[in-house]
Homo-oligomer: A and B are copies of this chain.
């Protein structure tokens, strides 16, 4: 399948909305409601879903359960790829303990930090390692995704190291801009940019 990032983003938001509807035991949802939840037009949402070759739009709308099931199948969200966190400051350790009972496609299986002191003080169910064990651990555990929570100055170097040892995706929580080859899946969770977006919305309605 070859879909734009915008489509993929809308689809994953739809999935999250269906998940919330299922918790509330809602049976059916219209494409209009989905479009409002996601912030796109009715038409776009139906097109996005049909691009995944999913049908099932009835008079009552989509069945919440079966649309959610089909999306999970298509996006392989039930499959748990392996992820690691690099940088175990407060943010990194917070993410180690993130409530992960959801189908989100990943399982965090390791944490890394360069400070042995910090590693000794961390209490978590997830195994933690020093940076010198990065290569071995990532290869042995077949880890696909690196979640980067190191300080700005170390971010690019850590990303380069992760890519060198075979990681396929990077989720960057540092405010640094990281440059990666096109073959690497990359996403920024940029707090600074989020604040700027909100600040701009105060001015631009």
A residues at B contact (CB < 8 Å): 1-3, 5, 8-9, 11-13, 15-17, 20, 39, 74-77, 79, 81, 83, 89-91, 93-95, 97-99, 102, 104-106, 144-145, 151-152, 168-169, 171, 175, 177, 185, 187, 189-205
Can you show 24 pairs from A to B with CB atoms below 8 A apart? A1-B203, A2-B205, A8-B197, A12-B193, A15-B196, A16-B192, A16-B196, A75-B203, A76-B199, A77-B200, A83-B195, A90-B97, A91-B95, A95-B191, A99-B151, A99-B175, A104-B192, A104-B195, A104-B196, A105-B196, A106-B198, A144-B202, A187-B194, A187-B197
Q: From the candidates B11, B75, B196, B198, name the one contacting A185 in the complex (CB within 8 A).
A: B198
Complexed CA–CA distance, A190 and B196 (Å)? 17
Complexed CA–CA distance, A168 and B198 (Å)? 10
Complexed CA–CA distance, A61 and B149 (Å)? 34
| Residues of chain B contacted by A75 (CB below 8 angstroms) | 196, 199-200, 203-204
| Residues of chain B contacted by A17 (CB below 8 angstroms) | 177
Q: From the candidates B1, B97, B177, name the one contacting A16 in the complex (CB within 8 A).
A: B177
Complexed CA–CA distance, A47 and B187 (Å)? 25
Which partner residue on chain B sits nearest A92 by CB separation?
A: B94
Contact across chains for B196 and A171 when beta carbons are under 8 A apart: no
